[in-house]
Chain A
Amino acid sequence: MKKALSLMLALVMVLALAACGGGTQPATTTQQPDSGSASTSTGSGTSTASASASGAFKFGASGPLTGDAAIYGKAVMNAAQIAVDEINAKGGIQIEFNPQDDEADGEKAVNAYNTLMDWGMQVMVGPVTTGSAIAASAVAYNDRTFCLTPSASSTDVTANKDNMFQLCFTDPNQGTGSADYIAANMAGHKIAVIYRNDDAYSQGIRDTFVKEAAAKGLQVVYEGTFTKDTQTDFSVQLGKAQSEGADLLYLPIYYQPASVILQQAKSMNYAPIFFGVDGMDGILTMEGFDTSLAEGVMLLTPFAADADNDMTKAFVAEYQKRYGETPNQFAADGYDVVYVLYNALTASGCTPDMSSAEICEKLIAEIQKTTYNGLTGENMTWSANGEVSKMPTAVVIKDGVYVSA
């Protein structure tokens, strides 16, 4: 019985492996001796992406589509799909888009990346989350695949990798930006920080914020942390912040825990100024959220879904039509990434029959010359180290909408 079963299992296993690896690999490809471990050093230039015959660029994307962080991946993929469809509808350059799930996990991100390379990916949108982006970009660097991540904001994502660019603000950028803004406009407040210490994004911003706050002479009276496992209850952290007399609460966190904090602070009758970062965007559009709770919340964000410009309006309308939700900042980032890549590909004269490595070199040069106006900022430019330069704008929530502060 067991023998029969194990034989059967073994058979399925071989089939599965074959299905996983079969077919898509072009015969001409020179396989790196250890591409699985990506140990060989810089840019040996072994291109693995095949030239696409159909005359369309192959855009691969990886982000969390299941699990805790699914909301970010889904938002990026949905919006990127809109951008791709718009571009394809124009005629001219066509794009094939292939989103893959990486569960916000470095290991799965490398798997997703490899799957995409088998498919023939030429340019990568993503990975969406920081940990995944660091893990996959190391492999992409060796392969020379150009990546533009919509939202992986740590500086480690781009460090020492010339093929990796970001569309979002870096964490230090946000931390210093917020501290500078507070020092300039709201100095003299007692500041409490609540951040998630098992999350790279949150901790990264907190580190630079505290450093810059000290340099600017701001008074941080309390720092509270939470983890993924304890993000259901903040009454203790809020109680401490309140008893320390903090009247400005800095929240370098995503909007779901922030909504819990707002609600619990309200029920404790604690009303400091809440100051968030771009991860806070989306709080107003959560289904069922009582927007009066967010009254007076300030945040630095590059995108506001109700901004009064045609591009944003058209995008938001389309997104709502397709997915029945209001897009958040991640969606806007995803949309912009596709357009930045499209513009750069057109401008540098890339054609769909080029290999991913050729495209990579062209795009690295091209993106540093690019100036882009999109949903998430005007006059975006990129430096050689992969960082984007765009202005964060401080907004304050009044009557359920963003108004500039």
Chain B
Amino acid sequence: MKNLKPHTRRNLITFIGLAVVWIVVTVLRGQGVLGRSASGLLVPICCYVVMALSLNLTVGIMGELSLGHAGFMGIGAFTGIIVSQSLMRAVPSVPLRLIAAMLVGAVFAGIFGFLIGIPVLRLRGDYLAIVTLAFGEIIKELITCLLVGVDEHGLHIIFNYKGLKGVEDLHLSETGQVIIKGAQGATGTQPIATFNAGMILIFLTLFIILNVIYSRTGRAIMAIRDNRIAAESVGIEITRHKMIAFVMSAAMAGAAGALYGLNYSNLVAAKFDFNTSILVLVFVVLGGLGNMRGSIIAAVLLYVLPEALRSMHDYRMLIYAVVLIAVMLATNSPIAQSFFARFRFGRKGGDEE
């Protein structure tokens, strides 16, 4: 352990911590100690953790504020659902279908990430933020216009932008099945997502992100974040590196979305709106920009918090808001920081990022 580089050791600890959590949760579930509500939260928590990790790549490592991350999640979710539902007969194996769905979801989200990245990455700061928000909302509205069905002749897709078409216009055969019904979203999806798949996805995401961060590409991306002009002057290709980070981030969000979409038998596009993007952004900022371990912990905590507050009934979301403000003030205001600093005696501040 001692001979490892500080960051390697840090990351190793993160991975070991994750593995311990995985084992502990699995054992607890096996023993039936974990209640239904806690077990039910596991898959969405995994999805949001991956979302937070992937957004941290854009916001923390690349240094650009994205307000449309939920859009990629939506693309992943709906492509994932289409893949899983249409392969129902061809591939009876559930794990295989889940993997296929997540892969295709990631690929599609990645493609959209690339297309959106072309205009987006030319902008900077708050202008970039608003354009990501705009794309997120556009994606949501376009999905709302989709009618998708499947039968033995393959997929039938209608883009119902005038709002005048219905399910019957898909002309499905007798055995056909409607997968996405516009505003009513995807209904009747077979929920196949599992906690284990979620944990594997977290491990993969974290592994990929950490590898990228400590690679040549990652250093280039962070150099651009810290000083774009200096980075440019030493010959780093700005657009290419930013695009790599952005597309990766989108693809991971797509995989998370596919997992998420396949966890519920009903999913509407309106779920992936601005508020969901903000939710994930809150995880990232609270966990610390560029701090992957922080993102994981913040995502879990902040997702569990409103559920744990259910006994507060009407005051639930109010308390959530107060906690959010209080935590931001406590971690960022100079007064609170100097207060916390008193407790740091005798501790090496060496491995902080």
Contact = CB atoms under 8 A, between A and B. Distances in A.
B305 to A, nearest CB: 7
Contacts of B94: 39
Nearest to A200: B184
B201 interface: no
Interface string B245-263: 0000000000000001001
A297 B167 CA distance: 30
A159 interface: yes
B288 A2 contact: yes
A147 B137 CA distance: 34
A21 B184 contact: no
A117 B184 CA distance: 27
Given A17-B304, A36-B40, A138-B191, A22 B264 contact: no
Most buried by A among B28, B167, B300, B343: B300
A106 B267 contact: yes
A220 to B, nearest CB: 10
A154 to B, nearest CB: 7
Given A22-B35, A37-B191, A37-B192, A106 B268 contact: yes
Given A66-B317, A135-B264, A21 B182 contact: no
B293 interface: yes
Contact of B304 (A13, A118, A227): A13
A27 interface: yes
B266 A37 contact: no
Interface in A147-171: 154, 156, 159-160
A114 B291 CA distance: 32
A19 B311 CA distance: 11
Contact of A106 (B164, B168, B266): B266
Interface in A122-161: 130-131, 134-135, 137-139, 154, 156, 159-160
B343 to A, nearest CB: 7
A211 interface: yes
A29 interface: yes
Interface string A214-256: 0000000001010111000000000000000000000000000
A65 B314 contact: yes
Contact of A20 (B270, B271, B298, B308): B308
A30 to B, nearest CB: 7
A134 to B, nearest CB: 4
Contacts of B151: none
A203 interface: yes
Given A106-B271, A197-B183, A6 B293 contact: yes
Interface string A4-27: 111001101100110111111101
Interface string B282-326: 000000100101100110110011011010011011000000000
Contacts of B266: 106, 131, 134-135, 138, 156
A13 B182 contact: no
Contacts of A204: 184
B32 A105 contact: no
A30 B32 contact: yes
A107 B35 contact: no
B37 A39 contact: no
Nearest to A210: B166
Contact of A35 (B36, B185, B301): B36
Contacts of B195: 34, 36-37
Interface residues of A, number: 74
B86 interface: no
Interface stretch (B41-49, B59-67, B113-121, B205-213): B41-49
B128 to A, nearest CB: 22
Q: At the interface, is chain B mostly helix, strand, loop or mixed? A: helix
B43 A37 contact: yes
A3 interface: yes
A80 B347 CA distance: 57
Contacts of A118: 35-37
A35 B347 CA distance: 44
A62 B136 CA distance: 29
A9 to B, nearest CB: 5
A110 B264 contact: yes
Contact of A115 (B288, B310, B341): B310
A21 B34 contact: yes
Contact of A39 (B33, B166, B192): B192
B36 A117 contact: yes
Given A3-B352, A107-B44, A135-B266, A37 B194 contact: yes
B297 A6 contact: yes
Contact of A156 (B38, B188, B341): B188
A325 interface: no
Nearest to B288: A2
A328 B316 CA distance: 25
Contacts of A197: 144, 163, 182-183
A130 B144 CA distance: 16
Contacts of A202: 183
A105 B341 CA distance: 42
Contact of B270 (A16, A23, A36, A198): A198
A154 B266 CA distance: 12
A259 B268 CA distance: 26
A111 B41 contact: yes
B268 A131 contact: yes
Contacts of A196: 183
B334 interface: no
Contact of B183 (A5, A21, A23, A203): A203
Across chains A and B, which 4 residue pairs bring their CB atoms closest together, nearest first? A21-B38, A134-B266, A138-B265, A21-B35
20 contacts: A3-B351, A5-B331, A6-B293, A9-B298, A16-B301, A16-B304, A19-B308, A20-B304, A21-B36, A30-B32, A39-B194, A106-B266, A112-B310, A114-B37, A135-B264, A135-B267, A138-B191, A198-B269, A200-B268, A227-B144
Given A13-B301, A30-B32, A107-B260, 18 more contacts: A1-B344, A2-B353, A9-B297, A12-B301, A16-B304, A20-B38, A29-B32, A31-B32, A31-B34, A107-B44, A114-B35, A114-B41, A131-B268, A138-B191, A197-B144, A197-B163, A198-B183, A227-B141
